A = this chain, B = another copy of it.
């Protein structure tokens, strides 16, 4: 079985690639290295079962080459820069919506019909039901990122209905763990490594967030693909707990032995489109027997330990 992993040099993608190779599968990695890292592929490149195809989702020819011969596509490549969507509105459209269309249409013309997709709990907007189940009331989108991901979900569903595809769509909370290189724990750690005495916090720190450890996320995806057999299978992925941004700051600084002065920017959200509370009902994926092994706190500690051991990652982005 050959898996294509788009975004296979990214945080979640490269972790999935390592896992698939460890399970004995053939893997094709497709990545434009815009946010992925060659270093994340160091192990997998040593495997004769791994092929790396550099390329962008908007480059149809590279994509077609990557998809040829695949049996299953993990479509994880995306613009994951949620916060700055308003500064470049076209990027989410191109990378997340048009990119997903290109993957689907290359699959169709190549006869590949199974896809797993990394979506986001942000598609629930400001949910009226919390914890939010997969069949929550039809939401209103509050960010270009979520809008572009919902568009991707919708395209995939239409391909399932129209072209006989099977899809597993995963609505993630934020994912943490080894190779995490984007998001607020990263920002906090980097800031503290440069100035341990002060920490700027977007919002009032009371935003409630849910996180999932990357290996738990991969366990969940593989469990769903194995066990959920509908044409379209939508799953929330997250832990059954949440924390405040202030909690995560406490765990990070406590683990590092720091006591920075906290400077809050104020308001109940970090930025326009930030959701003050994302907490997903994960009963559906749990009903398949999956459960996370790490708590949010343990996931954050593992992340901090990883960042501490991989200082190169901090310097990589300005």
Is A229 part of the binding interface, using a Cβ–Cβ cutoff of 8 Å? no
Contact across chains for B158 and A146 when beta carbons are under 8 A apart: yes
Quick one: copies of this chain in the complex? 2
A141 within 8 A of B: yes
Segment of A20-28, A84-92, A182-190 in the binding face: A84-92
B142–A158 contact, CB under 8 A? yes
- Set B135, B161, B232: member contacting A273, Cβ < 8 A: B161
Instruction: Name the B residues within 8 Å of A240 (CB-CB).
Output: none
Within 8 A of B (CB), among A114-168: 124-125, 134-144, 146-148, 150-151, 153-155, 157-159, 161-163
Interface of A, helix, strand, loop or mixed by DSSP: helix
Whether B147 lies near A154 (C-beta < 8 A) is yes
- Report the contact-size class of chain A (Cβ under 8 Å from the partner): 35 or more
Which residues from chain B contact A124 at a C-beta distance below 8 Å?
138
The answer for the CA separation of A162 and B124 in the assembled complex, in Å, is 16
Q: A78: shortest Cβ distance to chain B, in Å?
A: 15
Instruction: Write the nearest CB–CB distance from A295 to chain B, whole angstroms.
Output: 28
The reply on A97 being an interface residue by CB < 8 A is: yes
| A135, A146, A147 pick with most chain B CB within 10 angstroms | A147
Closest approach, in angstroms, between the C-beta of A165 and any C-beta of chain B? 12
| Residues in B neighbouring A148, C-beta threshold 8 A | 154
Report the bound CA distance from A158 to B93 in whole Å.
12
Q: How far is the CA of A154 from the CA of B273 in the complex (A)?
A: 13
Whether A141 contacts B157 by the Cβ 8 Å rule is: yes
Q: A136-B137, A147-B154, A147-B155 are in contact. Are A161 and B98 (CB under 8 A)?
A: no
